[in-house]
Chains A and B, each alone.
Chain A
Amino acid sequence: MTVRGAEVAGSGKGASAGDAGVTTGVLARLRRDAPWWLLPVTVVVVLGGFIVYSIWASTTGVGEARNAPYLSPLYSPGWLANHIPVFPGLLCILVPIAFRGTCYYYRKAYHRSFLWDPPGCAVPELRHGGYRGETAFPLSLNNLHRFALYGAVVYIPILAFDAANAFSLGGHLYLGLGTAIMVLNVVLLAGYTLSCHSLRHLVGGSVDCFSCVRFGRQRYGAWRGVTRLNVFHPTWAWVSLFSVWAVDAYVRMLNAGWFTDPHLLFR
């Protein structure tokens, strides 16, 4: 009803004095300002797509993932992939999966998109009661992120070695489009790894007084450096995911004969 400029648009159940918040219906509290569902849907499609792709790719065998002088990062290190008879790719990607699965950025992505805990800021959740967060298994394993970091750091020189090998074919200098993609992949993965929140803590974040500890100034410098990278951690996370995808897909397309690698070979 409208009464001289003011009208009642809706009403809800009354709340007792001790109740928390307003107890009108969920629809009344739903966000009306932005398509909050756009981000979770995008993450489900892109991240879900990558998960499905990487599981498929890691089960096809190393033969599909190698095209001299290139090697897919999903099958790196190559010597490990060569010595495992069944699904070597799955073993090779265990550390990257652990690193991304416990990553502070990806936690936001999958909690919002896959677990709907919550699906968006100020958006009502489907589940009520029984929420344990990261206090209970399995999400409490996210506290082990630093150990996944240690493994991920080892992967950077391994992938750099693969990229260096991509400069050589039959003992001659080789510069191909794939070489450039592999180098870019190493740079982006290094950016993602070195911008890690756990690394930021380990190099200096745990120190309360830089001027009071040994190598304090150096640790402060390292902390500032990682902090600068850390600001873009979500960006590093996504672009490095795409670069891994790009290298693997590029090698497979070469193997499928879709095109030949544009290159320069210096004999």
Chain B
Amino acid sequence: MAIAERPAQRGTAPQPGAGSGSDGAPLEFHVFKGIPGEEQGEVTYRVPPVTGMVVLDAIHWIQKHVDTDLACRWNCKAAKCGSCSAEINGMPRLMCKTRIDDLPDGPITVRPMTAFPLIKDLVTDVSHAYEVNRRIPQFTPAADEPSPFVIQEMDLERIYEFRKCIECFLCQDVCHVLRSHDLQEQFYGPRFFVRVASLEMHPKDTVDRLEAVRTEGGLGYCNITKCCTEVCPEHIHITDNAIIPLKERVADRHWDPLRAVSRLLLGKR
């Protein structure tokens, strides 16, 4: 690959061993490089360790001193913008939140998210996620709802958690329905179940999204393996607090004859 022929420019770089790595030795990174339709592969870089270093620091060091054209999306470096999602040692994580000293000894692999189309190196095209987002009806209060809203604390408690989402799409990346079975067209994915749940549980919202989330959203494809919850950097309980409550609401409507009789007799939805 042409990229491997470039000389490393290490004139101003911190020297290997200057930091407090376990033995001061350079860290070995295997970073994916390539663009669609051309040769792709992992390139090995040796990066000097620095105390408190995160993976994004190493990527920046590589960009500055070795490979200036290594593509990587990032913005805040504070685990709040959700831009630097990647797969570190095979596990979806934010590069800015993954400390080197939390990783096991040995080479560190950095690859782009698998569930999204590759653009270049570590950058993927997440536009499909925004298209899914546009399909979900937005918050719609009653036309005669007085403004500003007066809402009890207990009515909003559940949806505070959902508002922590930074849209890093790690949950979409790790979800096996999207990642392994490529059901992008039939399945919203965890991030958007969180969004639907936050709207469905809102005390002032009036739109019914349950039928859409069951049919075009493919809620039934989720088999509760909870990987989305495991990778969420905001520690949102995606499965327990968003997906399972949605599944239970769908069960109310489609799998519960007692509720059906109740609806018939009482005329409630």
> Contact partner of A22 among B88, B112, B224, B248, CB < 8 A?
B112
Is the Cβ of B8 less than 8 Å from the Cβ of A11? no
Among B30, B45, B112, B220, the most chain A Cβ lie within 10 Å of the Cβ of B220
A-B contact pairs, 5 of them (CB 8 A): A34-B104, A108-B226, A133-B222, A197-B240, A211-B203
Chain A neighbourhood of B201, CB < 8 A:
208
A216 CB to closest chain B CB (Å) equals: 8
A112 proximal to B (CB < 8 A): yes
- Bound-state Cα–Cα, A96 to B1, Å: 59
Is the Cβ of A124 less than 8 Å from the Cβ of B40? no
Among B67, B152, B184, the most chain A Cβ lie within 10 Å of the Cβ of B152
Count of residues in A whose CB is under 8 Å from the partner chain: 68
Chain A neighbourhood of B32, CB < 8 A:
22, 24
- Bound-state Cα–Cα, A79 to B256, Å: 30
Is the Cβ of B180 less than 8 Å from the Cβ of A118? yes
Digit string of A106-134 for contact with B (CB within 8 Å is 1, else 0)? 01100110000110011011001101111
B164 proximal to A (CB < 8 A): no
Decide yes or no: A6 and B247 within 8 Å by CB, A15-B118, A220-B154 being known contacts.
Answer: no
Which chain A residue lies CB-closest to B222? A133
B177 CB to closest chain A CB (Å) equals: 7
> Contact partner of B37 among A14, A129, A143, A205, CB < 8 A?
A14
B236 CB to closest chain A CB (Å) equals: 14
Is the Cβ of B40 less than 8 Å from the Cβ of A131? no
B1-53 contacts to A, CB under 8 A, are: 1, 3-8, 10, 30, 32, 34, 36-46
B214-266 contacts to A, CB under 8 A, are: 218, 220-227, 230-231, 239-240, 244-245, 247-252, 254-256
Which chain B residue lies CB-closest to A217? B154
Binding site for B on A (CB under 8 A): 1-24, 28-34, 104, 107-108, 111-112, 117-118, 121-122, 124-125, 128-129, 131-135, 139-140, 143-146, 197-198, 201, 205-206, 208-212, 217, 220, 230
Interface size class of B (residues with CB under 8 A): 35 or more
Is the Cβ of B90 less than 8 Å from the Cβ of A15? no
A118 CB to closest chain B CB (Å) equals: 4
Decide yes or no: A201 and B227 within 8 Å by CB, A20-B117, A33-B104 being known contacts.
Answer: no
Decide yes or no: A198 and B36 within 8 Å by CB, A9-B41, A211-B155 being known contacts.
Answer: no
Decide yes or no: A5 and B115 within 8 Å by CB, A14-B38, A134-B220, A208-B201 being known contacts.
Answer: no
Is the Cβ of A121 less than 8 Å from the Cβ of B4? no
> Contact partner of A210 among B117, B155, B176, B221, CB < 8 A?
B155
Decide yes or no: A135 and B218 within 8 Å by CB, A5-B46, A144-B255 being known contacts.
Answer: yes
B89 proximal to A (CB < 8 A): yes
B66 proximal to A (CB < 8 A): yes
Which chain A residue lies CB-closest to B218? A135
Decide yes or no: A121 and B220 within 8 Å by CB, A6-B67, A206-B252 being known contacts.
Answer: no
B182 proximal to A (CB < 8 A): yes
Is the Cβ of B42 less than 8 Å from the Cβ of A122? no
Among A122, A210, A217, the most chain B Cβ lie within 10 Å of the Cβ of A122
User: Which 9 A/B pairs are nearest by Cβ-Cβ distance?
Assistant: A5-B8, A11-B41, A31-B90, A209-B203, A135-B220, A121-B227, A201-B248, A133-B221, A33-B89
Chain B neighbourhood of A14, CB < 8 A:
34, 36-40
B183 CB to closest chain A CB (Å) equals: 7
Chain B neighbourhood of A209, CB < 8 A:
155, 203
- Bound-state Cα–Cα, A258 to B220, Å: 49
